[in-house]
Amino acid sequence: MSYVHDTIVQLQKSSPAQTEFYQAAEEVLDSLRPLLELNPRYHQHKIIERIVEPERQILFRVCWVDDRGEVQVNKGYRIQFNSALGPYKGGLRFHRSVNASVIKFLGFEQIFKNALTGLPIGGGKGGSNFDPKGKSDAEIMRFCQAFMTELHRHIGPTTDVPAGDIGVGGREIGYLYGQYKRLTTRHEGVLTGKGLDWGGSLGRKEATGYGAVYFAQNMLKSLGEDIDGKTCLVSGAGNVAIYTIEKLYQLGGLPITCSDSQGAVYHPQGINLDTLKLIKETRRSSLREYVEHHPEATYVDVESYPEDGHAVWRYKAHLAFPSATQNELTEADALALLGNGVFCISEGSNMASTASAVDQILQAGIAYGPGKAANAGGVATSQLEMAQNSSMQQWTIEKVDKKLMSIMHDIHHRCASTAEEFDQPHNLVLGANIAGFRKVADAMIDQGVY
């Protein structure tokens, strides 16, 4: 295990103060020990040393003018981490928490997530510490135009294809794409998550949430269980959470929680999907409004959360779907879930659980789908959008959803069969990390030193 310690120490020197990135790297490297012991060639080719360093890191200034006529300055990032399997692919995140550490952890995870899909895409990530909340449409448009003015020279349909992430939805993708066209005079599949009238794919908005549920469905099937009749806990109130909730209802589940940055809703009769979409997709406002429509529900302000975790994880249920952000599920939350009867966790957000939470979950032996596997439906459907753009077609929602179901089944199979190969049949963390790493590492060896 010294290679893990040595690698993290080296990263701390070469990439100081990037704790989220160290956490992601350590989690992956810890899982690789059985593979590396059997395959010394990965050490011989210095794959570990190479794979933890991005191929390219692009940092830039974003200057824009707000509605008061004042100049604002933000930081922009695009980390092109690994292109061994195909063009860089990964979302853009606009959120005040964005920094180099967050973008690098997301980009590193994206390498293995994309490899697990079986599709020809490499790993990358980008974004800015710009926060769209509280900004006018005109301000968001001006920021997106300024951001793309720099980014456009680094991306392309066979080079790097960004998508959306937290803070980057259809509105932002539209403004970004419009500026890309203005600068390049090209209409091409350089972004995914586009509008349906100008190159987008049916099912893309729903894909991450639907995919996380399909992954849970596969885990449950292996246990002789299904989603029908199960009570479910969901965090978040963005795209991933909304469409996780929608798919759970379609499969007979009962989602009873959701949350945003200000608080959480507990509705034992079931989250009302229409109300949630009205508040978050139409009004873009706080979940506080939810209880005005449903007084029988309970709203828990973030200041009233348990000191050691998140309110949504403290209710009795069968299934849990973390769908908000990284490290949202703490060790205390994991113990609460286990104590309240949860036997399956499928992560819709990236690195949703802290390292100590993952330890508790794996020790308990319950079904656990790590984010790089369980939430890969979003990037998989982005690649399907790329395929439609390349052929100048638009597929039906039925075709897209059928392909998504098949991809999530295949991801689960890859993770489960790899975990079984290494005599840890219930450890999908190990299975996902080894399966994803092995595919990328083998491609890197085939392509020589670059």
Catalytic sites, residue numbers: 125
Cα separation, 32 vs 26, in Å, equals 10
**Contact by Cβ (8 Å): 241, 349:** no
If one counts every other C-beta atom within 10 angstroms of the C-beta of residue 390, the result is: 12
Comparing CA positions, the residue from 59, 54, 57, 51 lying closest to residue 28 is 51
Please name the amino acid found at residue 364.
A
Q: What is the DSSP letter of 278?
A: I
- Side chain identity, residue 290: Y
Tokens of 26: 């350590």
> Which residue reads 């933890």 in tokens?
52
Separation between Cα atoms, residue 365 and residue 359, nearest integer Å: 10
Beta-bridge partners for 168: 165
Rounded to an integer, what is the distance from CA 123 to the centroid of its chain?
12
Whether 317 contacts 232, CB under 8 Å: yes
- Separation CA 316–CA 130 (nearest Å): 37
| Run of H or E residues at 275 | helix 273-277
Distances from the Cα of 27 to the Cα of 23, 33, 195, 202, 226, angstroms: 6, 11, 36, 34, 29
Calculate the dihedral angle through the C-alpha atoms of 234, 235, 238, 243, rounding to the nearest 10 degrees: -10
Query: Nearest-CA neighbor of 412 among 149, 205, 219?
Result: 219
